Chains A and B, each alone.
Chain A
Amino acid sequence: MNIFGLSFPREYVFALVIGLVDGILTALTLAGGKVINSRDSIDIKLVLRISMATALSGAFIFFVAEYVRLRGELVHAERHLNLTSPGHLATTQLGRMVFRDALRGTAISGAFSFLGALLPLMSGAVLPGPHWLPIAVAILALGLLGVGLARAVYGDTIRWTIALIAAGILLTIVGVKLHVI
């Protein structure tokens, strides 16, 4: 699949997109209150802590969901192959294969979740500018991601962009109201 001219293997696109979107949105929710309500720029240690927390929780959620999905596929295949012993395919190489695939997806998702949270927030820590710069960068990143994804799936660019930007704004408002940090 091509996103902004970069070619990604189809099986990794799901992990990449979910990681990136989760990273940016979680960062907005966690740091939204701190960034908007505080006049000071966000510090690097806090950025790293938020990014790490986002990546770890995102990776764990991804692993559980993906492994269950892949094991469910094996159960589904067993029925179609008329296997009488449930769980048989999980004991074959397929069981190990889906476990490795889930781990690989988790690593990709976690890494992109970390980057998705880190890059926008870090802009507020290292670049000069208004205190709300990280929020603007995060929402801009979501918009750009919307453009890339819309092109990759031949969707409506405006709708995808607006949807992702709206999600970013909504979760920033939630973050400001909750004031998690």
Chain B
Amino acid sequence: MNIRRLVLDVDKAIARPTLLDLAKAIESVTGVEGVNITVIEIDIETMGMDVTVEGENIDYPALVKAIESTGAVVHSVDQLAFGSRLVERVKI
């Protein structure tokens, strides 16, 4: 399966890892060409983020492993786009 885009719901503790640590870990995964990390929620102890990853043949297990190796946690996969071309979500 040629995974082209993943949007993940990722949480981390406020202090560690830093967003840069997380970005570096994601960037090192096979197939990843671009990353967007958007902070969507901050409370006293944790930070919730939408992590959007695009590329060709993204190695999903390696991606989750890379994120979790930094100490962040993948809560859910909120969007997955795959195939020979990128298909945007269609709102009806």
Name the segment of A22-30, A52-60, A86-94, A104-112 touching the other chain: A86-94
Q: Which residues A82-105 have CB closer than 8 A to chain B?
A: 82-83, 89, 92-94, 97-98
The residues in A between 41 and 83 inclusive whose CB is less than 8 angstroms from any CB of B are 73-74, 76-77, 80-83
Cα distance A94–B45 in the bound complex, in angstroms: 16
Given contacts A92-B68, A92-B70, contact A97 B46 (CB under 8 A): no
Can you list 6 A-B contacts (CB < 8 A)? A74-B13, A80-B45, A81-B46, A93-B69, A93-B70, A94-B70
Q: Which of B11, B15, B21 contacts A81, CB < 8 Å?
A: B11
> Once the chains are docked, how many angstroms separate the CA of A81 from the CA of B17?
13
State the majority secondary structure of interface residues on A.
Answer: helix
With A93-B21, A94-B16 given, is the CB distance from A76 to B45 under 8 Å? yes
The answer to whether A97 and B45 have CB atoms under 8 Å apart is no
Q: Once bound together, how far apart are the Cα atoms of A74 and B14, in whole Å?
A: 11
Number of A-B contacts (CB under 8 A): 41
Given known A77-B45, A80-B46, contact A94–B17 (CB-CB < 8 A): yes
- Encode B20-42 as 1/0 by CB contact (under 8 A) with A: 01000100000000000000000
Residues of B close to A93: CB separation below 8 A? 17, 21, 25, 69-71
Which B residues fall within an 8 A CB radius of A? Answer: 11-13, 15-17, 21, 25, 45-46, 68-71, 73
Contacts of B45 in A (CB 8 A): 76-77, 80
CB contact list, A112-141 vs B, under 8 A: none
The smallest beta-carbon distance between A84 and chain B, in angstroms, is 11
Q: Are A81 and B12 in contact (CB under 8 A)?
A: yes
CB contacts (< 8 Å) of A77 on chain B: these are: 13, 15-16, 45-46, 71
**A42 shortest CB reach to chain B, Å:** 44
Q: CB-nearest residue of chain A relative to B73?
A: A81
Q: How far is the CA of A97 from the CA of B18 in the complex (A)?
A: 12
Complex Cα–Cα for A97 and B21 (A): 11
Closest to B43 in A: A80
Give the nearest-CB partner of B25 in chain A. A93
Shortest Cβ distance from residue A133 to the other chain B in the assembled complex, whole angstroms: 45
Q: How far is the CB of A8 from chain B (nearest CB, A)?
A: 19
CB nearest neighbor in B for A78: B13
- Docked pose: A92 CA to B23 CA in angstroms: 16
